[in-house]
């Protein structure tokens, strides 16, 4: 077998007993190059640089056929058997295929990208470039949309090798290749400085981070490489800052955030250097919260590098980030933080939190020792284009630049065999283009249909109702990115739409390399097949086999009879399983969806491309809505020749944020070395203890040294509670063992501190509830005391709650305890609280409002909010059983 990419011979393919070789179509293969020794077949392919091998489907027999094909039609040398006819699946709903349509396990590599390429994908480290190679429009063997390596045609050879290189390019990150600016930054980091380095797109910020992480590890310094978005994290081979910190979406108020962060306390404690890339997308408030979390969790931190004895190490609570060295990288002229709507806030934009940049953060000045600019642009070699981009970046646009960009309206020539990446601002346009590219793959199509159910978990037959449910999901893209139905084919470029592990996150891209099905016999064959692929590293084979075994067990009895197998850019191979989603609709009802968390991804939105370098792209600047958005899209491309702009655009597409330009202006005016400002203060220990117990928000006040023991106690308590009650799995998903019913089935006493904390943990981790929003929502329900129901609310069973924890309406939660209210009462401030919680608050603080902190003008009378109570009870009763 010939590997056309690196001209290496692969000296054998193992085929099982009943496998025959079909060399139909091979023209240049000399007989001597095919040696069949018992059941072991050796193909020596030193003869040609472009032989392609595919395993074809044998669905009606258990025999697999290996065919070596070429584009030139010469008689085969060996031609034992014709491949049996493929069973074409006519059932478009083949997510629920009938048994008779079952296919061979060998299908995994049949009907997929050419076998050679699949193996290549499986064994190699590869960097899947954005964009697709040509030939998708061709039938037969040209539909190998990943590599296009089956051309013996000399004319095409260069193009194909090129395209392979583009698709599988790996960059070597070496210290020697750094320029002076980059080296300077590296030295600063190795010397222990807290640094922010910044510069236009393409100045090698991410490149430098790759080298930096290697250098730090050489010195034995424990560093964590993170980025603000999943896609940026993948770009640097790290994880998201959220995942590192254990804070899920990070939208919660400080206290729940702190509690959640304990799930990753080992990260926090052991971290010596924390690297955050694409920091322009980090919200200022979150920056402050992370800084405070670091200080609180690291009271007993490990000794920082540079200190010989632990005793010499200063008190971490007095050090920015608790003594963690901070390395920030990014360009504030690029995408700003995404406004964070409160999840499930039903599109009420008044609830969208105001965003800030992290240079606005209170702790910014004390966190950063040095700010260093990078100026040399690596990405664009063309000085003219690079200068144009520099001006676009800072909003210095004139007619000349616009005209120059308007000239980029011609279709791109596919000289290097790469189709341009298609970039649109909106998802609709992206979907339309992806559909078109999928149609171009001439392979069997698998349709994945979501299982949508209403709150009663009824299986809905009525098409009208189904359509209605689907339209609700489609309108709730924030809560559910998984579409009601979509098609996949082997070779399709896809993107995850949900975090499924710490390394496979929303935005991770990959290629579908096959489909796994239900039949145990088929699984056995598949596993055997993988075992035979000795070309794949043994450990990886074992991992794959284990995963296939588990997936086989998983899909037995499931409705999804086929699951896609995806090879991701980070080389992970994953069988993608359905995920549960739920969204609100009228009258606070919820509906539920089970669907595979994938979407097609030849075309992507601007937001999914930050940090990436592209050879060529087709960009539409239509509907640009964000500062820096156009600059991010345009600056991905290496040269003007690789740029096609479709549709019209105007000055308004190149908006910049005044606050950002002021920030850079101030930097220009001041020295690089910044004078350190004092740290923002953390809550007084005694107050913190109280707040943690009572579920109050934490505000900045001064730390009292004498209270550090108390701090430790709180932290220990919290650790235990969290350990006992909340387990994060690797996927950052929640397995909350301590569901809300712990407190509510029989226990009305929320004054118990442990319970309070437990409840907080649950709620904080399952909801991103912001007190403000609770308040807003509670307001809506005040004084509607229509029903009279004083019986305690029965909350859902433990198991059910785990599944639906994330679905609790936020206005059902008490602003103090963050727990679902059993006895909601309206206080004189107009807000609704859990009776026991507000009474406890009055006991401690007197007649002042928990929310406004203002004294009540009237006496502290509480009025039961019966309407809200009825709604909670109703919701609880309608909680569906676990989806089977
Ligand atoms: N010192 C270097 N030597 C060789 N190539 C480099 C060097 N630094 C960066 N590059 C290359 O320049 C290109 C852009 O680098 P990189 O993506 O790191 O830039 P960036 O500043 O992070 O860009 P952005 O802000 O757009 O994310 C990449 O192709 C990278 O491999």
Distance (angstroms) between ligand 1 centre and the Cα of 794 equals 57
**What backbone torsions phi and psi does residue 810 show, to the nearest 5 degrees?**
-65, -25
Distance (angstroms) between ligand 1 centre and the Cα of 385 equals 16
Contact predicate 636/613, CB 8 Å: yes
For tokens 């009763």, what's the residue? 877
- Residue of the nearest CA to atom 13 in ligand 1? 379
Greatest mean pLDDT range, 40-54, 266-280, 477-491, 585-599: 266-280
* Rg from Cα positions in the chain: 29
Confidence of residue 626 (pLDDT cuts 50, 70, 90): confident
Contact predicate 782/832, CB 8 Å: yes
3-state secondary structure of 614: strand
For residue 330, pLDDT beyond 90: yes
| Neighbour order of strands in the sheet with 325-330 | 239-240, 223-227, 273-277, 325-330, 195-198, 370-373
Give me the DSSP letters along 459-523. B---HHHHHHHHHHHHT-TTT--S-SEEEE-TT-EEEESS--SSSS-TT-EEEEEEEEES-HHHH
Question: Which CA distances in Å does 337 have to 279, 340, 353, 667?
Answer: 9, 8, 11, 21
> If residue 592 lies in a helix (H) or strand (E), which one and from where to where?
strand 589-595
- pLDDT of 117 reads 46
Contact predicate 386/377, CB 8 Å: yes
**What backbone torsions phi and psi does residue 87 show, to the nearest 5 degrees?**
-80, 110
Other residues' Cβ atoms within 10 Å of the Cβ of residue 674: 17
Confidence of residue 66 (pLDDT cuts 50, 70, 90): very low
- pLDDT of 823 reads 86
- pLDDT of 745 reads 34
d(CA 42, CA 48): 16
- Residue of the nearest CA to atom 9 in ligand 1? 204
Kindly give the number of the ligand 1 atom that is closest to the alpha carbon of 610.
27
Considering only CA atoms, which of 462, 485, 463 is closest in space to residue 473?
485
In 228-343 the beta strands, taken as DSSP E runs, fall at 239-240, 273-277, 325-330
Write out pLDDT tens, residues 685-705: 445 445 544 555 443 333 333
3-state secondary structure of 582: strand
Kindly give the number of the ligand 1 atom that is closest to the alpha carbon of 329.
22
Distance (angstroms) between ligand 1 centre and the Cα of 199 equals 11
- pLDDT of 685 reads 41
Least confident residue range of 544-558, 714-728, 799-813: 714-728
Confidence of residue 328 (pLDDT cuts 50, 70, 90): very high
Ramachandran class of 192: left when φ > 0, alpha when ψ lies in -120 to 50, beta otherwise: left
Kindly give the number of the ligand 1 atom that is closest to the alpha carbon of 632.
26
- pLDDT of 739 reads 28
Structure tokens at 51: 């032989």
Other residues' Cβ atoms within 10 Å of the Cβ of residue 727: 14
Greatest mean pLDDT range, 162-166, 345-349, 580-584: 580-584
Greatest mean pLDDT range, 151-155, 220-224, 535-539: 220-224
Q: What is the mean pLDDT of residues 561-584?
A: 77
For residue 155, pLDDT beyond 60: no
Instruction: Determine the Cα angle at 578 with ends 554 and 798, to 5°.
Output: 80
- Residue of the nearest CA to atom 7 in ligand 1? 204
- Residue of the nearest CA to atom 31 in ligand 1? 207
List of residues 6+ apart from 830 with CB closer than 8 A = 779, 782
Write out pLDDT tens, residues 380-438: 988 899 999 999 999 998 899 999 999 998 887 654 444 577 898 877 788 888 998 89
Write out pLDDT tens, residues 517-561: 766 666 677 677 777 777 677 887 787 777 777 776 666 555 566
- pLDDT of 22 reads 24
- pLDDT of 411 reads 84
Kindly give the number of the ligand 1 atom that is closest to the alpha carbon of 378.
12
- Residue of the nearest CA to atom 14 in ligand 1? 202
d(CA 420, CA 615): 8
Pick the residue with more confidence: 317 or 7? 317
Write out pLDDT tens, residues 278-305: 999 999 999 999 998 888 887 655 545 4
Considering only CA atoms, which of 606, 347, 573, 583 is closest in space to residue 455?
583
Kindly give the number of the ligand 1 atom that is closest to the alpha carbon of 330.
25
Pick the residue with more confidence: 501 or 590? 501
Contact predicate 69/78, CB 8 Å: no
d(CA 453, CA 469): 8
For tokens 């709604």, what's the residue? 871
- pLDDT of 858 reads 58
Distance (angstroms) between ligand 1 centre and the Cα of 378 equals 6
- Residue of the nearest CA to atom 4 in ligand 1? 177
Pick the residue with more confidence: 366 or 89? 366
Confidence of residue 183 (pLDDT cuts 50, 70, 90): very high
Confidence of residue 582 (pLDDT cuts 50, 70, 90): low
Residue 262 DSSP label: G
d(CA 675, CA 679): 12
**What backbone torsions phi and psi does residue 146 show, to the nearest 5 degrees?**
-105, -35
Q: What is the mean pLDDT of residues 579-583?
A: 72
ipTM over the 0.85 cut-off: yes
Distance (angstroms) between ligand 1 centre and the Cα of 275 equals 17
Distance (angstroms) between ligand 1 centre and the Cα of 637 equals 12
- pLDDT of 225 reads 92
Using CB distances shorter than 6 Å, the residues near ligand 1 are 171, 177-179, 182, 201-207, 331, 378-379, 611, 613, 635
Distance (angstroms) between ligand 1 centre and the Cα of 784 equals 59
For residue 274, pLDDT beyond 90: yes
Least confident residue range of 138-142, 199-203, 341-345, 480-484: 138-142
For residue 337, pLDDT beyond 70: yes
Pick the residue with more confidence: 723 or 492? 492
User: How many residues would you count in the chain?
Assistant: 884
Confidence of residue 105 (pLDDT cuts 50, 70, 90): very low
Distance (angstroms) between ligand 1 centre and the Cα of 162 equals 21
Contacts 24+ apart (CB under 8 A), 539-548: 540/122, 540/123, 540/573, 543/573, 544/122, 544/573, 547/573, 547/574, 547/575, 548/516, 548/523, 548/575
Kindly give the number of the ligand 1 atom that is closest to the alpha carbon of 232.
27
The β-bridge partners of 617 are: 421, 643
Distance (angstroms) between ligand 1 centre and the Cα of 612 equals 9
Ramachandran class of 246: left when φ > 0, alpha when ψ lies in -120 to 50, beta otherwise: left
- Residue of the nearest CA to atom 16 in ligand 1? 204
- Residue of 206, 233, 423, 632 best suited for mutating to test ligand 1, as the one with most atoms within 8 Å of CB: 206
- pLDDT of 464 reads 66
- Residue of the nearest CA to atom 5 in ligand 1? 378
For residue 717, pLDDT beyond 50: no
Count CA atoms within 13 Å of residue 865 on its CB side: 28
Q: What is the mean pLDDT of residues 338-343?
A: 53
Kindly give the number of the ligand 1 atom that is closest to the alpha carbon of 278.
27
- Residue of 172, 177, 185, 202 best suited for mutating to test ligand 1, as the one with most atoms within 8 Å of CB: 202
Considering only CA atoms, which of 122, 273, 298 is closest in space to residue 193?
273
For residue 645, pLDDT beyond 90: yes
Distance (angstroms) between ligand 1 centre and the Cα of 177 equals 11
Distance (angstroms) between ligand 1 centre and the Cα of 209 equals 10
Q: What is the mean pLDDT of residues 706-729?
A: 32
> How many Å is the maximal CA-CA distance in the chain?
100
- Three state DSSP letters for 134-183: CCCCCCHHHHCCCCCCCCCCHHHHHHHHHHHHHHHCCCCCCHHHCCHHHH
Least confident residue range of 299-308, 362-371, 424-433, 741-750: 741-750
- Residue of 379, 380, 393, 606 best suited for mutating to test ligand 1, as the one with most atoms within 8 Å of CB: 379
Q: What is the mean pLDDT of residues 169-193?
A: 86
Question: Which CA distances in Å does 450 have to 69, 174, 486?
Answer: 38, 46, 9
For residue 28, pLDDT beyond 80: no
Confidence of residue 244 (pLDDT cuts 50, 70, 90): very high
Considering only CA atoms, which of 171, 364, 192, 371 is closest in space to residue 274?
192
Least confident residue range of 58-67, 238-247, 352-361, 591-600: 58-67
Other residues' Cβ atoms within 10 Å of the Cβ of residue 453: 19
The β-bridge partners of 53 are: 68
Structure tokens at 761: 């943990």
- Three state DSSP letters for 643-689: EEEECCCCHHHHCCCHHHHHHHHHHHHCCCECCCCCCCCCCCHHHHH
For residue 265, pLDDT beyond 70: yes
- pLDDT of 437 reads 87
**What backbone torsions phi and psi does residue 676 show, to the nearest 5 degrees?**
-75, 135
For residue 569, pLDDT beyond 60: yes
- Residue of the nearest CA to atom 3 in ligand 1? 177
High-pLDDT (> 70) share of the chain, %: 51
Distance (angstroms) between ligand 1 centre and the Cα of 712 equals 43
Distance (angstroms) between ligand 1 centre and the Cα of 628 equals 19
The per-residue pLDDT of the chain, averaged, comes to 63
Residue 357 DSSP label: B
For residue 374, pLDDT beyond 70: yes
- Residue of the nearest CA to atom 1 in ligand 1? 178
Distance (angstroms) between ligand 1 centre and the Cα of 613 equals 8
Least confident residue range of 11-15, 138-142, 388-392: 11-15
Greatest mean pLDDT range, 57-61, 113-117, 572-576: 572-576
Q: What is the mean pLDDT of residues 469-490?
A: 68
Kindly give the number of the ligand 1 atom that is closest to the alpha carbon of 635.
26
Distance (angstroms) between ligand 1 centre and the Cα of 609 equals 14
Considering only CA atoms, which of 386, 375, 330, 331 is closest in space to residue 179?
375
Other residues' Cβ atoms within 10 Å of the Cβ of residue 746: 9
- pLDDT of 573 reads 79
- Residue of the nearest CA to atom 24 in ligand 1? 201
d(CA 15, CA 13): 6
Greatest mean pLDDT range, 117-126, 527-536, 744-753, 836-845: 836-845
Contact predicate 618/409, CB 8 Å: no
Q: What is the mean pLDDT of residues 703-730?
A: 32
Distance (angstroms) between ligand 1 centre and the Cα of 663 equals 24
Percent of the chain as helix, strand, coil, to the nearest 5:
40, 15, 45
Ramachandran class of 415: left when φ > 0, alpha when ψ lies in -120 to 50, beta otherwise: alpha
List of residues 6+ apart from 545 with CB closer than 8 A = 527, 530, 531
**Positive/negative CA dihedral, 284, 290, 291, 293:** positive
Confidence of residue 826 (pLDDT cuts 50, 70, 90): confident
């Amino acid at each position: 077998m010939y590997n056309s990419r690196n001209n290496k011979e692969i000296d054998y393919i193992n085929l099982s007993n009943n496998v025959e070789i079909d060399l139909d179509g091979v023209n240049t293969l000399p007989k001597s190059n095919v040696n069949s020794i018992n059941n072991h077949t050796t193909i020596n392919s030193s003869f040609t640089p472009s032989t392609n091998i595919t395993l074809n489907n044998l669905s009606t027999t258990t025999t697999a056929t290996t065919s070596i094909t070429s584009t030139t039609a010469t008689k085969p040398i060996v031609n034992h058997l014709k491949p049996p006819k493929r069973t074409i699946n006519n059932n478009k709903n083949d997510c629920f295929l009938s048994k008779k349509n079952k296919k061979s396990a060998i299908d995994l590599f049949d009907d997929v990208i050419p076998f050679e390429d699949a193996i290549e994908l499986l064994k190699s480290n590869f960097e899947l470039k954005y964009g697709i190679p040509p030939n998708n429009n061709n039938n037969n063997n040209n539909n190998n949309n990943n590599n296009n390596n089956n051309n013996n045609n000399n004319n095409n050879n260069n193009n194909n090798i090129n395209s392979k290189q583009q698709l599988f390019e790996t960059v070597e990150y070496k210290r020697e290749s750094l320029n002076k600016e980059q080296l300077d930054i590296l030295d600063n980091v190795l010397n222990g400085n807290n640094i922010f380095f910044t510069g236009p797109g393409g100045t090698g910020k991410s490149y430098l981070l790759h080298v930096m992480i290697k250098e730090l590890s050489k010195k034995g310094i424990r560093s964590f490489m993170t980025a603000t978005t999943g896609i940026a994290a993948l770009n640097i081979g790290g994880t998201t800052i959220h995942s590192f910190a254990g804070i899920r979406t990070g939208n919660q108020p400080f206290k729940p955030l702190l509690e959640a962060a304990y799930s990753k306390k080992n990260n926090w404690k052991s971290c010596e250097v924390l690297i955050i890339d694409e920091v322009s997308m980090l919200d200022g408030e979150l920056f402050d919260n992370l800084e405070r979390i670091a200080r609180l969790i690291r009271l007993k931190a490990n000794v920082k590098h540079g200190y010989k004895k632990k005793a010499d190490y200063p008190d971490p609570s007095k050090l920015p980030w608790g003594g963690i060295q901070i390395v920030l990288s990014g360009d504030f002229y690029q995408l700003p933080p995404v406004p964070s709507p409160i999840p499930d806030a039903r599109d009420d934009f008044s609830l969208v939190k105001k965003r800030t940049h992290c240079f606005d953060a209170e702790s910014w000045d004390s966190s950063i020792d040095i700010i260093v600019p990078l100026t040399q642009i690596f990405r664009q070699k063309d000085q003219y284009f690079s200068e144009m981009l520099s001006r676009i970046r800072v909003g210095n646009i004139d007619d000349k630049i616009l005209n120059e960009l308007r000239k980029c309206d011609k279709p791109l020539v596919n000289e290097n065999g790469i189709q341009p990446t298609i970039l649109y601002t909106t998802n609709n346009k992206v979907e339309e283009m992806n559909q078109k590219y999928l149609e171009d793959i001439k392979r069997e199509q698998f349709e994945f249909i979501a299982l949508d159910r209403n709150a009663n978990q009824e299986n809905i037959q009525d098409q009208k109702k189904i359509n209605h449910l689907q339209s609700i999901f489609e309108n709730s893209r924030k809560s559910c990115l998984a579409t009601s139905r979509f098609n996949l084919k082997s070779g399709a470029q896809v993107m995850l739409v949900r975090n499924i592990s710490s390394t496979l996150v929303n935005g991770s891209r990959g290629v579908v390399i096959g489909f796994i099905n239900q039949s145990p016999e088929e699984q056995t064959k598949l596993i055997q097949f993988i075992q035979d692929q000795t070309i794949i590293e043994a450990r990886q084979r074992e991992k794959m086999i284990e995963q296939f075994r588990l997936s086989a067990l998983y899909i037995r009895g499931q409705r999804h009879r086929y699951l896609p197998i995806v090879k991701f850019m980070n080389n992970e191979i994953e069988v993608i399983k359905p995920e549960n989603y739920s969204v609100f609709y009228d009258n606070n009802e919820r509906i539920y969806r089970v669907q595979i968390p994938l979407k097609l991804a030849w075309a992507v939105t601007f937001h999914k491309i930050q940090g990436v370098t592209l050879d060529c792209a087709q960009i539409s600047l239509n509907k640009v809505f964000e500062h820096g958005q156009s600059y991010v899209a345009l600056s991905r491309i290496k040269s003007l020749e690789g740029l096609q702009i479709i549709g019209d655009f105007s000055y308004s597409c190149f908006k910049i944020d005044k606050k950002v330009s002021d920030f850079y202006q101030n930097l220009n005016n001041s020295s690089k070395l910044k004078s350190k400002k004092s740290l923002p203060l953390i809550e007084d220990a005694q107050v913190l203890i109280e707040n943690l117990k009572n579920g109050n928000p934490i505000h900045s006040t001064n730390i009292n040294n004498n209270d550090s023991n108390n701090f430790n106690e709180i932290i220990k308590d919290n650790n235990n509670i969290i350990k006992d009650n909340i387990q994060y799995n690797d996927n950052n998903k929640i397995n909350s063992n301590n569901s809300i019913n712990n407190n509510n089935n029989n226990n009305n006493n929320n004054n118990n501190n442990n319970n309070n904390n437990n409840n907080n943990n649950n709620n904080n981790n399952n909801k991103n509830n912001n007190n403000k929003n609770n308040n807003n929502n509670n307001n809506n329900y005040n004084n509607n005391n229509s029903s009279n129901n004083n019986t305690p609310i029965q909350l859902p069973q433990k198991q059910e709650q785990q599944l639906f924890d994330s679905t609790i309406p936020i206005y059902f939660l008490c602003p103090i305890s963050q727990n679902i209210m059993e006895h909601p009462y309206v206080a004189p401030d107009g807000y609704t609280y859990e009776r026991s919680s507000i009474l406890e608050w009055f006991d401690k603080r007197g007649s002042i409002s928990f929310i406004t902190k203002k004294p009540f003008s009237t006496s502290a009378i509480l009025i039961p909010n019966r309407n809200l109570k009825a709604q909670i009870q109703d919701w609880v009763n309608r909680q569906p059983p676990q989806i089977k």
